[in-house]
Structure 1
Amino acid sequence: MKLLLTSAGIKNPSIHDALVDLLGKPIADSNALCIPTAAYGHPQVTPAGAWRFISGQSPSISMCELGWKSLGVLELTALPSIGEERWIPWVREADVLLVNGGDALYLCHWMRQSGLADLLPSLHETVWAGLSAGSMVMTPRIGEDFVEWKPPTGGDSTLGIVDFSIFPHLDHELLPENTTADAERWAAGIPGPAYAIDDDTAIKVIDGTVEVVSEGMWRHFPPSGG
């Protein structure tokens, strides 16, 4: 897959251009599926938050309302009950998966339970555009600071599609626990490399090559051994 890992969606022209570059064509010519699942696992997110994401009515994020050729909803908790022969073609026909924030461990659980995680390696040209938890799920670990929903297996491990971890919403005015000092402490407990990114920053990954796209603030933390 081609990855665009954001803190808060397509927030500025630089991130928008990175998305179009990954798609290889205009947004108006691209088919999207949005995945709201992560929202239901986080204690601070309500069903209204999932609706705002899908409908493009959230004032703080920008994804579903960008003017896609088509936009559908892929709810991962429904997939095990309808059969792969139905939903796998939907995913293969999409140019981009728009993945909501919420709880990364809950999202990871349902990606595995639904079979979507197993499908990802075959989606060579599909773009994964993650928002907060939708980005963190692609990392090896999220860190204990971000554990809310407890997976059956315990721990803070996620999919490990990339080899670095992500601390989103750096120095956000509404998140006093997301300061640079908090990010430094978090990174000290992450054994691999990590990035802290604000809402004007994204991480673009193609074939393992990592590029930070930013009109804001970000920090890179080398492996800590934590």
Structure 2
Amino acid sequence: MKLLLTSAGVNNKSIHDALVDMLDKPIADSNALCIPTAMYGHPWVGPGVKAWQFISGISENPMFKNPMVDLGWKSVGVLELTALPSINRDRWVPLVQETDVLLVSGGDALYLYHWMRQSGLADLLPSLQAVYVGMSAGSMVMAPNIGEFFVGWTPPTGGDETLSLVDFAIFPHLDHEMLPGNTMAAAERWAAGMQGPTYAIDDQTAIKVIDGAVEVISEGNWKHFLP
């Protein structure tokens, strides 16, 4: 699976070009599934109108603008992970296997991780040919863990573990004007408490991962921390 791990979606030319290159065909010829699940676990973005805004690609609030669903896909469907355990796998697994791209919203990374596991999507991800595009929590969930700084919703088993599909963790929304706690100094303290490599990235930055090779795509600010 190819990963494009963003802080705030596909919101500049460099990230957009990277996505098109990963798809190997135009966006207009590609089918997408969007996953809003992480939003329901975070008090700022769900449930309610902001979940609808992500799914529809419409938002007037610059913090919650979603340059993912509205990029001009051939088709966009909704994959709601909380619903999947209640339906037969043969109704949704082929859909996921055939899609060109998964668009995974921000919200709460541990809530997303929990429902990726409960739904069975976590087991499918490594074998998929689709491009996975994460935003904020949708990117953070790929890491081995997220760190106490980002723990909000508490999973039944506790802890801050996530998927471990990459070997680094992500501190998103670096220096965001609406998140005064997301400073470089805070990122450095967070990184110092993590056991593996980490990246702090702003909203103009993404991390591309193909077959384990990591490349930072940025028109903004970012920093790589080694343990």
Say which of 193, 197, 210 aligns to 2:214. Answer: 210
Q: After superposition, give the CA deviation of every residue in 1:66-112 in whole Å (9 maximum; x if it has no partner).
A: 00000000000000111111000110111000000000000000000
Deviation at 1:61, TM superposition (A): 2.8
Return the alpha-carbon distance in structure 1 between the equivalents of residues 211 and 180 of structure 2.
Answer: 35
Return the alpha-carbon distance in structure 2 between the equivalents of residues 180 and 18 of structure 1.
Answer: 26
Write the letter of the residue equivalent to 2:188: E
Aligned counterpart, 1:130: 134
Q: TM-score, normalised by structure 1?
A: 0.97
* Structure 1 segment 133-144 matched on structure 2, within 5 A: 133-144=137-148
Aligned counterpart, 1:79: 84
Write the letter of the residue equivalent to 1:94: T
Write the letter of the residue equivalent to 2:75: S
Say which of 152, 172, 183 aligns to 2:176. Answer: 172
Q: After superposition, give the CA deviation of every residue in 1:155-199 in whole Å (9 maximum; x if it has no partner).
A: 111000000000000000000010111100110111100000000
Return the alpha-carbon distance in structure 2 between the equivalents of residues 110 and 154 of structure 1.
Answer: 14
Deviation at 1:44, TM superposition (A): 1.9
Aligned counterpart, 1:110: 115
Q: Alignment partner of 1:154: what SS? A: coil
Deviation at 1:43, TM superposition (A): 1.9
Runs of 4 or more above 3 Å deviation: none
Write the letter of the residue equivalent to 1:170: L
* Structure 1 segment 19-168 matched on structure 2, within 5 A: 19-46=19-46, 47-58=48-59, 59=62, 60-123=65-128, 125-168=129-172
Q: Alignment partner of 1:219: what SS? A: strand
Return the alpha-carbon distance in structure 2 between the equivalents of residues 133 and 45 of structure 1.
Answer: 12
* Cα contact 1:43–1:148 (8 A) shared by 2: no
Q: After superposition, give the CA deviation of every residue in 1:133-167 in whole Å (9 maximum; x if it has no partner).
A: 00000001111010000001111110000000000
User: Which is worse superposed, 92-101 or 46-55?
Assistant: 46-55
Q: TM-score, normalised by structure 2?
A: 0.96
Q: Indicate the RMSD between aligned Cα atoms, in angstroms.
A: 0.7
Aligned counterpart, 1:15: 15
Return the alpha-carbon distance in structure 1 between the equivalents of residues 51 and 113 of structure 2.
Answer: 17
Aligned length: 222
Q: Alignment partner of 1:173: what SS? A: coil
* Cα contact 1:56–1:62 (8 A) shared by 2: yes
Say which of 182, 195, 199 aligns to 2:186. Answer: 182
Return the alpha-carbon distance in structure 2 between the equivalents of residues 35 and 45 of structure 1.
Answer: 14
Structure 1 stretches lacking a partner, 5+ long: none
Write the letter of the residue equivalent to 1:19: L
Q: Alignment partner of 2:155: what SS? A: coil
Write the letter of the residue equivalent to 1:49: K
